[in-house]
Amino acid sequence: EAEVAQSPRYKITEKSQAVAFWCDPISGHATLYWYRQILGQGPELLVQFQDESVVDDSQLPKDRFSAERLKGVDSTLKIQPAELGDSAMYLCASSSPGQGYGYTFGSGTRLTVV
Partner 1 sequence: GQNIDQPTEMTATEGAIVQINCTYQTSGFNGLFWYQQHAGEAPTFLSYNVLDGLEEKGRFSSFLSRSKGYSYLLLKELQMKDSASYLCAVRDNYGQNFVFGPGTRLSVLP
Q: How far is the CB of 11 from partner 1 (least distance, A)?
A: 14
- Mode of pairing for the β-strands spanning 109-113 and 10-13: parallel
- The H or E element that residue 72 is part of is none
Please report whether residue 7 would count as binding partner 1 according to CB under 8 A: no
Phi, psi of 47 (to 5 degrees): -155, 145
Which of positions 52-71 make contact with partner 1 (CB under 8 A)?
Answer: 55-56
CA 92 to each of CA 5, 16, 32, 88: distance values in angstroms, whole numbers, following the listed order = 8, 23, 7, 13
Taking CB under 8 A as the rule, does residue 11 contact partner 1? no
Determine contact, residues 5/93, Cβ cutoff 8 Å: no
Span interacting with partner 1, options 12-20, 29-37, 63-71, 72-80, rule CB under 8 A = 29-37
Q: Is 25 one of the binding residues for partner 1 (CB under 8 A)? A: no
Give the footprint of partner 1 on this chain (CB under 8 A): 31, 33, 35, 40-45, 48, 55-56, 89, 91, 95, 97, 99-108, 110
